[in-house]
A and B are shown apart, each in its own frame.
Chain A
Amino acid sequence: MTQPVLTARGLVKRYGRVTALDNADFDLMPGEILAVIGDNGAGKSTLIKALCGAVTPDEGEIRLDGQVMQFSNPMEARNAGIETVYQNLALSPALSISDNMFLGREIRKPGPLGQWFRMLDRNAMEKRAREKLTELGLMTIQNIGQAVETLSGGQRQGVAVARAAAFGSKVVIMDEPTAALGVKESRRVLELILDVKRRGLPIVLISHNMPHVFEVADRIHVHRLGRRLCVINPKDYTMSDAVAFMTGAKEPPREAVAA
């Protein structure tokens, strides 16, 4: 049996008297798209934040490739190879596309210029940014130096996904990537997600959009009341089943709970 890439066991996170995570478990297998669904307040964002380092859980352990991880900020998770595309994209609107892609991990010029004058290697960064965007078929974006705020919503999403794909070596987490997009742009982003999967990177997809989830996910993690309720295969269940599990209208099947 293949080992999961990313696992979590018994995660607990309390905010004052509210328990956002109540012994939550999580498993991500290599090369898969795992969708995480749950009603509002089920704790899925807290689960994701724990996995990407934005929140430190009170109890429980997270393992990446079998190694126990303790993330105290998103930077540490990133350094470990977990990239996240946040719902608000975490892009700086006034900075250029290439500045944004390399924000926080800029490339410096080789030699004394870089070492003593800390000079950035603009050309190298722009070249790599262009390569990444071309790989993902996003080069309809003409000018890599243009500010992100001059891009459309779908293009911004594309830049954020390209950034994650460029640097994510183990896992890419996407939080509601299609929430703010129109039909056509959503389609483009779903293709991007499948493109990233084809590169062999496993993806955690958080979404409220059931058609999108059922279309691209290999497995669906249903989160309810702060813990994992079950994991289902989208081929075996319908969307209304999934929603029913989410809301508690229907008991999950026994074998799915064990998974």
Chain B
Amino acid sequence: MSQPQEFEKVLSGSATNVAHFEEKRSFLHRLQHFLHSNPAMVPLIVLVALIVFFGLARGERFFSAYTLTLIMQQVAVVGILAAAQTLVVLTAGIDLSIGVIMVFAFVIMGNAVVSYGLWAIIALALGFIVAGACGLLNGFLVARVKLPPFIVTLGTWNIIMAIVLIYSANETMREADLTAATPWLHIFGMSFKLGGAVVTLGVVAMIALYFVLWYMLNYTAFGRHIYAVGDDPDAAQLAGIQTSKVLIATYTLAGLIAGLAAWVSIGRNGSISPSTVVTDFNLQAITAAVIGGISLFGGRGSILGTLFGALIVGVMSMGLNMMNADPQWKVLLTGVLIIAAVSVDQWIRKVSG
């Protein structure tokens, strides 16, 4: 025990319990703590509430295995893109180019099969390589050139969109031409029945992807490093994490996942249309991640939340559709949910102390 200094003499009389935790807490406080350690709970509660609401309002028609699995089919592509987006957002970045990377990848896959007559496996590999390379470029510009992710991906978004339209001459590839060449590109469109449920392989791929990423983020060092880099990059660097390598790997992985989304998307849509390059897939992916409780400031949120976030949008869309509501209500409610989700995120962050 070191000798206390004069002014510290009275300390012996004061409480010695440095890490004393106040036990009595209000319900709200405990809820805040609970949500802080379980970030996927908010979107899960919202999702269940929505399903119950539409189930009560529309009964059997909505609350059936068929409808619920149809929603899953509809969200599969955006859900996969949202998983990629989540990884980037967890590093405190953002990827505006994720949607056009996917379109680029499926245009390449289709062209390789139809125009160049390559084997499906090579066509798919080419698609993945191009998607991964686009992600790598983003990662390089963010991590090494140290440009802000928003600006980098705003740039690559436009660049890739233009390249897709120039390269493809905006010609749609018909489903018949594709299936004549190979069945492999449409593999994720195949489905099987489980009772009344119709499950496509695309849905299976989405769920498998979420499971793998959830495992990666929580049970591997790389996953923990993604959180650490997004949380406080300087601290992560000083703690010995090679932050730029983590960033490059994350953006590249996001690109590869966009490649998977491309493959699944071919299965869902049948034909390949380069004009989908103008669809706001990137914003839909960000929406799912934000509603799913992923903090745009990085380092917080669970990837399962993103899955729930994507399903929330899908359930709202289907439910309102069944209630014959104007489709704009879905847009309006999505906007409300985004703002609500970010407000909840801010509140949860104030948990410390």
B220 touches A141 (CB 8 A): no
B236 to A, closest residue via Cβ: A92
**A residues 78-99 in Cβ contact with B at 8 Å:** 78, 84, 86, 88-95, 99
CA distance A54 to B2 in the complex (A): 32
> Which of B36, B235, B351 gathers most chain A CB within 10 Å?
B235
Please tell me if the beta carbons of A138 and B224 are within 8 angstroms of each other in the complex. no
Interface residue? A119 (CB, 8 A): yes
B5, B18, B239 — which one has the most chain A CB atoms within 10 A of its CB?
A: B239
A59-84 interface with B by 8 A CB criterion: 74-75, 78, 84
With contact pairs A140-B20, A147-B36 given, residues A120 and B221 touching in the complex (Cβ less than 8 Å) = yes
Q: Which residues of B contact A122 (CB under 8 A)?
A: 219
Interface residues of B in 30-54 (CB under 8 A from A): 33, 36-37
Chain A residues within 8 Å of B2, by CB = 190-191, 194, 215-216
| Contact across chains for B18 and A106 when beta carbons are under 8 A apart | no
Task: Check if B239 sits within 8 Å of A149, measured CB to CB.
Answer: no
Name A92's contact: one of B37, B232, B240, B353 (CB within 8 Å).
Answer: B232
- A75 and chain B: residue at smallest CB distance: B240
Q: Are B236 and A183 in contact (CB under 8 A)?
A: no
Q: Which residue of A lies closest to B36 (CB)?
A: A147
With the chains together, A151 CA to B20 CA distance in Å?
Answer: 10
Residues of B within 8 A of A218 (CB): none
**Contact (Cβ within 8 A) A86 B238:** yes
Cross-chain contact B240 with A191 (CB below 8 angstroms)? no
Q: With a CB–CB cut-off of 8 A, which chain B residues contact A152?
A: 18-19, 353
Instruction: Return the chain A residue nearest B233 by Cβ.
Output: A92
Complex CA gap A48/B33 in Å reads: 38
Within 8 A of A (CB), among B1-31: 1-5, 7-8, 11, 14, 17-21
Q: Is the CB of A150 within 8 A of B228?
A: no
Q: Are A150 and B3 in contact (CB under 8 A)?
A: no
Residues of B within 8 A of A86 (CB): 238
Contact A94:B227 (CB < 8 A) given known A75-B240, A149-B352, A211-B5:
yes
Q: Known A103-B241, A106-B224; judge A90-B235 contact (CB<8 A).
A: yes
Interface residues in B314-353 (C-beta closer than 8 Å to A): 351-353
Most buried by A among B20, B215, B221: B221
Q: Which residue of A lies closest to B33 (CB)?
A: A150
- B234: chain A residues at CB < 8 Å are 88, 90
Contact of B1 with A191 in the complex, beta carbons under 8 Å: yes
CB distance from A245 to the nearest CB of B (A): 22
Q: Mark A138-167, 1 if CB is under 8 A from B, else 0.
A: 101110001101111011000000000000
Which B residues touch A190, using CB under 8 A? 2
Q: A88-B234, A187-B4, A216-B2 are in contact. Are A94 and B299 (CB under 8 A)?
A: yes
Confirm or deny: B222 has a beta carbon within 8 angstroms of a beta carbon on chain A.
yes
Chain A, interface size category, equals 35 or more
Q: How far is the CA of A89 from the CA of B221 in the complex (A)?
A: 20
Q: Is B175 an interface residue (CB 8 A)?
A: no
- The answer to the question of A188 belonging to the interface, with a C-beta cut-off of 8 Å to chain B, is yes
> Interface residues of B, CB < 8 Å — how many?
42
A92 touches B227 (CB 8 A): yes
B-side contacts of A93, CB under 8 Å: 231-232, 299, 352
Contacts A89-B235, A90-B239, A120-B219 hold; do A140 and B19 have CB atoms under 8 A apart?
yes
The answer to whether B18 touches A185, judged by C-beta atoms less than 8 angstroms apart, is yes
Interface string of B88-111 (1 = CB under 8 A from A): 000000000000000000000000
B231 x A92 contact (CB < 8 A): yes
Interface residues of B in 240-281 (CB under 8 A from A): 240-242
Set of chain A residues within 8 Å of B18, measured between Cβ atoms: 140, 152, 154-155, 184-185, 188
Distance A151 CA – B21 CA, assembled complex (angstroms) = 10
Judge if A127 is at the interface, Cβ distance under 8 Å. Answer: no
Residues of A within 8 A of B186 (CB): none
- Residues of B contacting A142 in the complex (Cβ-Cβ under 8 angstroms): 19, 21
Q: Which of B7, B8, B224 has the most CB of A within 10 A?
A: B224
B contact residues around A16 at 8 Å (CB)? none
Could you tell me the distance in whole angstroms from the C-beta of A140 to the nearest C-beta in chain B? Answer: 4
CB pair B8–A94 under 8 Å, yes or no, is: no
Q: B5 and A215: CB pair below 8 A?
A: yes
Are B240 and A78 closer than 8 Å at their CB atoms? yes
Q: Are B224 and A95 in contact (CB under 8 A)?
A: yes
13 more contacts with CB within 8 A, not counting A120-B221, A146-B37, are A74-B238, A91-B239, A93-B231, A104-B239, A118-B219, A120-B224, A147-B36, A147-B37, A151-B352, A184-B11, A184-B18, A187-B4, A215-B2
Chain B residues engaging chain A, CB cutoff 8 angstroms: 1-5, 7-8, 11, 14, 17-21, 33, 36-37, 215, 219-222, 224-225, 227-228, 231-232, 234-242, 299-300, 351-353
Selected A-B contacts with CB under 8 Å, 29 pairs: A54-B238, A75-B242, A86-B238, A88-B234, A90-B234, A92-B232, A93-B231, A93-B232, A93-B352, A95-B227, A99-B228, A103-B236, A104-B241, A105-B240, A106-B221, A117-B215, A118-B222, A138-B19, A140-B20, A142-B21, A147-B37, A149-B351, A150-B353, A152-B18, A154-B18, A183-B8, A184-B14, A185-B18, A194-B2
